[in-house]
Chain A
Amino acid sequence: MTYNFDTLALHAGQVPDERYGARATPIYLTTSFVFKDSDQAAALFNMERAGHVYSRISNPTNAVLEERIAALEGGVGAIAVASGQAALHLAIATLMGAGGHIVASRSLYGGSHNLLDYTLPRFGITTSFVDPRDLDAWRAAIRPETRLLFGETLGNPGLDVLNIPEVAALAHHHGLPLMVDSTFTTPWLMRPFDHGADLIFHSATKFLGGHGVAIGGLLVDGGSFDWDKSGKFPTLTEPYEGFHGMDFSEESTVAAFLLRARREGLRDFGACMSPMTAFQLLQGMETLPLRMARHIANTRQAVEHLTRSEAVASVGYPELEDHPDHALAQKLLPRGAGSVFSFNLKGGRAAGRKFIEALRVFSHLANVGDAKSLVIHPASTTHFRMSDAALVAAGIHPGTIRLSIGLEDAGDLLEDLNRGLAAAQKI
Chain B
Amino acid sequence: MELELNGQQAYAYTGGKPFDAALPCVVFIHGAQNDHSVWGLQSRWFAHHGFAVLAVDLPGHGRSAGAPLPSIEALADWIELLLEKVGAGDTATPGKVTLVGHSMGSLTALECAARHPVRIARIALVGTAVPMPVSDALLGAARDNESKAISMINAWSHSPRGTIGGNTVPGMWLLGAARRLAERQPPGVLHNDLAACNAYTHGMEAAAALACPALIISGSRDMMTHPKAAAKLAAAIRDVRSVSLDGAGHDLMAEQPDAVLDALRGFIA
The distance in angstroms between the C-alpha atoms of A46 and B183, with both chains bound, is 28
Interface string of B173-191 (1 = CB under 8 A from A): 1011100110110000000
The distance in angstroms between the C-alpha atoms of A78 and B163, with both chains bound, is 17
The distance in angstroms between the C-alpha atoms of A403 and B80, with both chains bound, is 68
Q: Which residue of A lies closest to B254 (CB)?
A: A50
The distance in angstroms between the C-alpha atoms of A11 and B160, with both chains bound, is 12
Total number of B residues with any Cβ neighbor in A under 8 Å: 36
Contact A246 B16 (CB under 8 A): yes
Q: Which residue of B lies closest to A39 (CB)?
A: B49
Across-interface contacts of A14 in B (CB, < 8 A):
164-166
Contact A58 B163 (CB under 8 A): no
Stretch from A161-169, A247-255, A280-288 forming part of the interface with B: A247-255
Contact B163 A79 (CB under 8 A): no
Contact A253 B167 (CB under 8 A): no
Contact A253 B184 (CB under 8 A): yes
Query: Per a CB cutoff under 8 Å, which of A11, A48, A246, A254 touches B177?
Result: A254
B169 touches A (CB below 8 Å): yes
The distance in angstroms between the C-alpha atoms of A14 and B165, with both chains bound, is 6
Contact B164 A251 (CB under 8 A): no
Contact A254 B261 (CB under 8 A): no
Query: Per a CB cutoff under 8 Å, which of B40, B171, B183, B261 touches A224?
Result: B183
Contact B165 A71 (CB under 8 A): yes
Across-interface contacts of A222 in B (CB, < 8 A):
180
Contact B167 A76 (CB under 8 A): no
Total number of A residues with any Cβ neighbor in B under 8 Å: 51
Across-interface contacts of B37 in A (CB, < 8 A):
251-254
The distance in angstroms between the C-alpha atoms of A59 and B171, with both chains bound, is 9
Contact A77 B172 (CB under 8 A): yes
Query: In angstroms, how far is the closest chain A Cβ from the Cβ of B265?
Result: 10
Contact A2 B170 (CB under 8 A): no
Interface residues of B (CB under 8 A from A): 13, 16, 35, 37, 40-41, 44-45, 48, 62-63, 151, 154-155, 161, 163-173, 175-177, 180-181, 183-184, 257-258, 261
Interface residues of A (CB under 8 A from B): 1-3, 11-15, 43, 46-52, 57-60, 62-64, 66-68, 70-71, 74-80, 222-224, 226, 228, 244-246, 250-255, 258, 262
